[in-house]
Amino acid sequence: MININLLPKNLRRVREPGYWRLLAVLFPLLVLAVAGTMQYFANATAANLQREKLAREDQLALLQPFLREQRDLLSRQQQLNQLIAVARSVRENRVMWTSEIAGLLETLPVGDGAPVIDFSSLSMQSVVPPRADPNRYEGRPVVAEMQVSGSVTDMEVLAAFVRALENSDAYGVLFQNAQRQSDQDVFTYSLTVGAVEGGER
């Protein structure tokens, strides 16, 4: 028996193939499966990173005592190096005050075999490192300075003392002041004497 559909084309029922309906069901399932897989791997990666972070933090916590000890040791080493540097500087730039004072006394003017000038005060200060000033001691570097004050009965004696220091290879001098005492024939003076670096004493 032959069936003939006499309906117009726009009213005819079109039967679609069955695989389209199958694809319409499977495609959303496939998308969900892919999205679920990606989410699973993302969660697994995040969990692994979190575990690794916690492991690193645990290792760091275990190392903290050793790191603190290392910092303490480095700090002590730095302090010791500073002390060693200071000790070396003191040893290299030490001033032999006995020889400095003895050399200074040798420049004193003498009369009848005895000094004719006296010291009432003498203060000493080392200069570390040696310092040179073009306006002091003719620009020669000094390793120590001595503040000298005293009295003298003759200004010519004081002048001779200052000239002896100026002509010395071992010392330089800065004249501070001199004045006569009103009630007696005595002059007081004040000098700064510099011990020249490398000068023979």
d(Cα 122, Cα 15) in Å, to the nearest integer?
127
pTM of the predicted structure, to 2 decimals? 0.50
Number of domains making up the chain: 2
Same domain as 159, residue 84:
no
Torsion of CA 96, 102, 103, 104, to 10 degrees: 110
Q: What is the mean pLDDT of residues 118-126?
A: 85
* Domain ranges, residue 33: 16-92
Asked whether residue 9 is assigned to any structural domain, the reply reads: no
Same domain as 152, residue 188:
yes
Q: How far is CA 170 from CA 99, 130, 135, 173, in A?
A: 11, 14, 17, 10
Same domain as 118, residue 188:
yes
Q: How many residues does the chain have?
A: 201
Same domain as 177, residue 121:
yes
Same domain as 61, residue 20:
yes
| Boundary residue ending a domain (42, 73, 92) | 92
The pLDDT value recorded for residue 154 is 84
Same domain as 121, residue 70:
no
The pLDDT value recorded for residue 138 is 87
Q: How many percent of the chain have pLDDT more than 90?
A: 6
- Name the residue with higher pLDDT: 103 or 89: 103
The pLDDT value recorded for residue 9 is 58
pLDDT, tens digit, 9 for 90 and up, residues 127-177: 878 888 888 888 899 888 989 998 888 888 888 889 988 888 889 899 898
Nearest CA to 104 out of 145, 190, 189, 165 is that of 165
42 half-sphere exposure, CB direction, 13 A CA radius: 6
| Boundary residue ending a domain (46, 65, 92) | 92
Asked whether residue 22 is assigned to any structural domain, the reply reads: yes
CATH number at residue 121: 3.30.70.2830
Residues near 138 by Cβ (< 8 Å), separated by ≥ 6?
A: 172
Same domain as 112, residue 181:
yes
Pairing between strand 187-196 and 171-180? Answer: antiparallel
Q: What is the mean pLDDT of residues 41-51?
A: 87
